[in-house]
């Protein structure tokens, strides 16, 4: 069975534009690819920590080394400045830029074969674009530090996802977040799934109108210290 490298994109709450504000304009061009590459997925417009981006998933029947060479030649012919292919274990990466944009290409060999898969991320050039940081509509307690805030637009729909950490225990932080949702008029989903886990301290599904939010809080140990990680995603 083929396994393709995929981009982990946590996307969520489908809120009206009036509650999130307008997404920053991405103004990102559509990319084309050499014949050796098949595009398998294109993300909706995405804003991650204020930086617009578009993500393409790809696969190929060719070796990843050959794919990277094809990418280099293809983009050079289109007047991009192409860097050198770097290897991180089996993962191959390539940086490309033009006057306004930066492109990061990553891929690797698919297990049990010579074919390959990966993804391409295009963003404005970081040295030219000042990120317009967005503010989560999800209220976070004072002792919670925001790691990542993502917004996306898919047609008329907008989504939101929050990833955060806290020095407090996950059960304490998770229950505090649940209380905040309930104070704002959210209730437990009627078909909420119960999860019992040694790592997940709080798992709740909450609803308000046609919206559903999933909240996960868990404890993790990093460098001998236990911290709570909080993941909130939603949909309508």
Q: Rounded to 10 degrees, what is the CA torsion of 222, 226, 227, 233? A: 80
Which of these ranges, 16-30, 70-84, 185-199, 212-226, has the smallest mean pLDDT? 16-30
Owner of token pair 């990102």: 28
The per-residue pLDDT for 192 is 66
pTM value?
0.64
Give tens-digit pLDDT for 87-127. 988 899 999 999 999 999 999 999 777 899 999 999 998 88
- Assign 143 a pLDDT band (cuts: 50, 70, 90): confident
Domain ranges of the chain: 25-124, 145-235
User: Among 23, 20, 18, which residue's Cα sits nearest to residue 48?
Assistant: 23
Tokens of 222: 């990093």
pLDDT of residue 88: 86
Contact 174, 156 (CB under 8 A): no
Which residue from 20, 1, 4 is spatially nearest to 234, judged by alpha carbons?
Answer: 20
Q: How confident is the model at residue 154 (pLDDT cuts 50, 70, 90)?
A: low
3-state SS record for the chain? CCCCCCCCCCCCCCCCHHHHCCCCCCCCCCCCCCCCCEEEEECCEEEECCEEEEEEEEEECCCHHHHHHHHHHHHHCCCCEECCCEEECCEEEEEEECCCEEEEEEEEECCCCCCEEEEEEEEECCCCCCCCCCCCCCCCCCCCEEEEEEEEEECCEEEEEEEEEECCCHHHHHHHHHHHHHHCCCEECCCCCCCCCCCEEEEEEEEECCEEEEEEEEEEEECCEEEEEEEEEEEC
Q: How far apart are CA 76 and CA 87, in angstroms?
A: 20
CATH class of domain segment(s) 25-124: alpha beta
Tokens encoding 28: 């990102």
pLDDT at residue 235 greater than cutoff 90: no
* pLDDT on residue 3: 31
Confidence of residue 16 (pLDDT cuts 50, 70, 90): very low
Contact between 233 and 205 (Cβ < 8 Å): no
pLDDT of 56:
94
Phi, psi (deg, nearest 5) at residue 197: -150, 150
What per-residue confidence (pLDDT) applies to 142?
A: 82
């Amino acid at each position: 069975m083929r396994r393709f490298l995929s981009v982990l994109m946590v996307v969520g709450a489908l809120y009206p534009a009036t509650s999130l504000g307008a997404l920053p304009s991405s103004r990102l061009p559509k990319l084309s690819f050499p014949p050796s590459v098949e595009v398998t997925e294109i993300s909706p417009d995405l804003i991650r920590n204020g930086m617009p981006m578009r993500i393409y998933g790809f696969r190929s029947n060719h070796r990843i080394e050959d794919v990277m060479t094809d990418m280099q030649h293809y983009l050079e012919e289109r007047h991009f400045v192409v860097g050198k292919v770097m290897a991180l274990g089996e993962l191959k990466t390539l940086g490309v830029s033009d006057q306004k944009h930066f492109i990061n290409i990553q891929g690797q060999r698919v297990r049990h074969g010579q074919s390959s898969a990966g993804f391409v991320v295009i963003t404005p050039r970081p040295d030219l674009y000042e990120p317009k940081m967005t503010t989560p509509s999800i209220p976070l307690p004072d002792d919670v530090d925001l790691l990542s805030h993502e917004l996306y637009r898919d047609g008329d729909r907008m989504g939101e996802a929050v990833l955060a950490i806290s020095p407090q225990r996950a059960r304490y932080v998770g229950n505090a977040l649940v209380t905040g949702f309930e104070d704002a008029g959210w209730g437990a989903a009627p078909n909420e799934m119960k999860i019992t886990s040694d790592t997940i301290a709080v798992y709740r599904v909450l609803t308000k109108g046609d919206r559903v939010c999933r909240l996960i809080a868990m404890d993790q140990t990093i460098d001998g210290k236990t911290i709570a990680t909080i993941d909130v995603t939603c949909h309508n």
